[in-house]
């Protein structure tokens, strides 16, 4: 199940319009071939209710949403620009415009990552502690920044950008290498750590000169990667204690004393199995905690770190810090195929993860590369993975995969500022679901059926009852206005 887009054709959605009171609108995607197909219906006042009823309970209030989106890596930008310009526009509109998924979160690597053509940082001149030679690269000025400007121009929602570094310059590292096991030289408070903190500020300065401002930075992408022997691509190791001290003594003050004091700081940005310990180490330290706003989690190894043992206790301990899913991709494990065009099951995996996260206090979900090639790259260490959009530059086309449509069931209908509310099932069910009250007062409900059977159910609110069916292997989003 894919949509094939080119310079002249791409499927589009209409802007979301709230239905008349007493009616609802439903969007459905399915393995059978529906792609965010819209239909309308009316609430029924008195109806013989099915066994299974999902009842909206707005007295139960949970987290507010930050948003949904994906990442502009060097590879993603290279792939977008490999298309004819009208097709580039179709691709960007598919993600960012009102006729697409209306993404509002964008993650950006600070300099290179594995999804780059080569390893580099913004200051590869040895021992340049003053960062006199700091400068953005062609990857920024010719690829990522132009893409951001185009995305921003076609978006009706303000974009929130988050930047993450993979590695520091090698001359700041114990390994003297971009890759492999290595941390910053010395310890927090010294010239190595101060230089690395100032590098963040310089990055924000240089992007600001190009009219790009950031909502947040993460202290380091996957800080535990740099603690692993022979790690294959760019990394910089921090233990929780090292991250705590770096933030308290160097990064926190550097950001606070810069013109970017409004930029939010996110810790961890690594697999959730490090929770709640990582959060305890950093946030129980008052000096570090005052600079921190949120906790970033990646979805890899979720199967050995259940959400109830990791995210939930972290939220209970530190309810004032948001938890945001900052990276996910399929195809990363050695036993997985990199790209499987049209794979519905991979869409299911995205939605299952998003629902599990949203139902456990997470405020948003960020996909990894916005677009990759047929191989799942480019990636300079061949760490190929899948993406919701796959580009075939030789044909001037791109494929919108099931993962793309699954993302849209959330991103388009649950805008920033929406608040999760209760959705109570009358009996146990295999359906997965969540409910949100939007800033405009409407309700959004998402229902995922990963089973092979159609499931009949009712959706109840103060407006009445919707008689519904979740087809086998489908995802649905319902939207309606409540009686005030």
> What is the distance between the alpha carbons of residues 167 and 173, in angstroms, rounded to a whole number?
9
Q: Which two tokens mark 18?
A: 């709230």
Active-site pick, 222, 284, 316, 432: 222
209 burial (CB, 10 Å; 0-12 / 13-18 / 19+) is exposed
Among all chains, which residue has been given the structure tokens 């999902």?
54
Annotated catalytic residue 345: no
CA distances, 408 to each of 17, 97, 345, 380 (Å): 16, 12, 16, 30
> What is the distance between the alpha carbons of residues 357 and 266, in angstroms, rounded to a whole number?
17
> What is the distance between the alpha carbons of residues 236 and 174, in angstroms, rounded to a whole number?
10
What are the backbone dihedrals phi and psi of residue 103, each rounded to the nearest 5 degrees, phi first?
-55, 145
> What is the distance between the alpha carbons of residues 60 and 39, in angstroms, rounded to a whole number?
29
DSSP-assigned states of every residue in 165-187? ES---GGGBTTSSSSSS-BBSS-
Residues in the chain, total: 484
Start-to-end CA distance of the chain, whole Å, equals: 40
> What is the distance between the alpha carbons of residues 279 and 323, in angstroms, rounded to a whole number?
11
| Cβ atoms of 65 and 416 closer than 8 Å | yes
Reported in sequence order, the residue ranges of 170-284 that DSSP labels E, i.e. its strands, are 216-218, 264-271
> What is the distance between the alpha carbons of residues 177 and 181, in angstroms, rounded to a whole number?
9
Among all chains, which residue has been given the structure tokens 């894919």?
2
DSSP-assigned states of every residue in 117-137? SS---S--STT-TT-TT----
Active-site pick, 327, 336, 345, 375: 327
Annotated catalytic residue 327: yes
What is the CA angle 110-407-51, rounded to 5?
A: 145
CA distances, 4 to each of 143, 147, 245, 326 (Å): 24, 21, 49, 28
What is the CA angle 97-99-103, rounded to 5?
A: 40
> What is the distance between the alpha carbons of residues 231 and 388, in angstroms, rounded to a whole number?
27
C-beta neighbour count of 250 within 10 angstroms: 22
| Cβ atoms of 419 and 61 closer than 8 Å | yes
C-beta neighbour count of 61 within 10 angstroms: 12
Catalytic machinery residues: 222, 327
């Amino acid at each position: 199940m894919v949509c094939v887009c080119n310079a002249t054709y791409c499927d589009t959605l209409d802007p979301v319009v709230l239905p008349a009171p007493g009616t609802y609108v439903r969007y459905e995607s399915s393995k059978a071939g529906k792609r965010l197909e819209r239909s309308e219906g009316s609430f029924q006042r008195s109806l013989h209710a099915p066994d299974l009823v999902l009842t909206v309970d707005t007295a139960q209030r949970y987290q507010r949403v930050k948003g949904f989106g994906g990442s502009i890596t060097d590879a993603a930008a290279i792939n977008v620009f490999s298309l004819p310009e009208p097709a580039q526009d179709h691709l960007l509109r598919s993600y960012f415009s009102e006729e697409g998924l209306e993404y509002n979160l964008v993650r950006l690597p600070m300099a290179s990552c594995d999804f780059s053509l080569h390893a580099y940082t913004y200051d590869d001149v040895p021992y340049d502690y003053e960062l006199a030679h700091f400068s953005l690269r062609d990857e920024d000025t010719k690829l990522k920044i132009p893409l951001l400007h185009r995305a921003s121009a076609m978006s009706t929602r303000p974009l929130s950008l988050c930047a993450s570094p993979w590695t520091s310059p090698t001359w700041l590292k114990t390994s003297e290498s971009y890759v492999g096991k290595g941390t910053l030289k010395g310890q927090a408070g010294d010239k190595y750590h101060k230089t690395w903190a100032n590098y963040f500020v310089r990055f924000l300065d240089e992007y600001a000169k190009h009219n790009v401002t950031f909502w947040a930075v993460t202290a380091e992408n996957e800080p535990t990667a740099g603690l692993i022997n022979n790690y294959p691509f760019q990394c910089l190791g921090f233990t929780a204690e090292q991250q705590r001290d770096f933030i308290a003594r160097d990064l926190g003050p550097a950001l606070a004393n810069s013109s970017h004091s409004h930029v939010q700081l996110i810790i961890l940005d690594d697999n959730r199995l490090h929770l709640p310990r990582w959060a305890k180490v950093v946030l129980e330290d008052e000096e570090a905690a005052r600079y921190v706003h949120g906790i970033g989690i990646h979805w890899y190894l979720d199967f050995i770190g259940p959400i109830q043992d990791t995210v939930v206790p972290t939220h209970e301990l530190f309810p004032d810090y948001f938890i945001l899913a900052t990276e996910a991709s399929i195809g990363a494990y050695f036993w997985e195929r990199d790209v499987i065009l049209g794979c519905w099951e991979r869409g299911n995996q995205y939605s299952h993860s998003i629902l599990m996260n949203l139902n456990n206090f997470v405020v948003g979900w960020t996909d990894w590369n916005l677009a990759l090639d047929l191989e799942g790259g480019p990636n300079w260490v061949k760490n190929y993975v899948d993406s919701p959009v796959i580009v075939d530059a030789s044909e001037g086309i791109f494929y919108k995969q099931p993962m793309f449509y699954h993302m849209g069931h959330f991103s388009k209908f649950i805008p920033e500022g929406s608040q999760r509310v209760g959705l109570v099932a009358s009996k146990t069910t295999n359906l997965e679901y969540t409910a949100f009250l939007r800033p405009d007062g409407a309700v959004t409900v998402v229902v995922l059926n990963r089973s092979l059977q159609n499931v009949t159910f009712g959706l109840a609110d103060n407006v009445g009852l919707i008689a519904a069916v979740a087809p086998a292997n489908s995802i649905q989003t319902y939207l309606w206005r409540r009686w005030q």
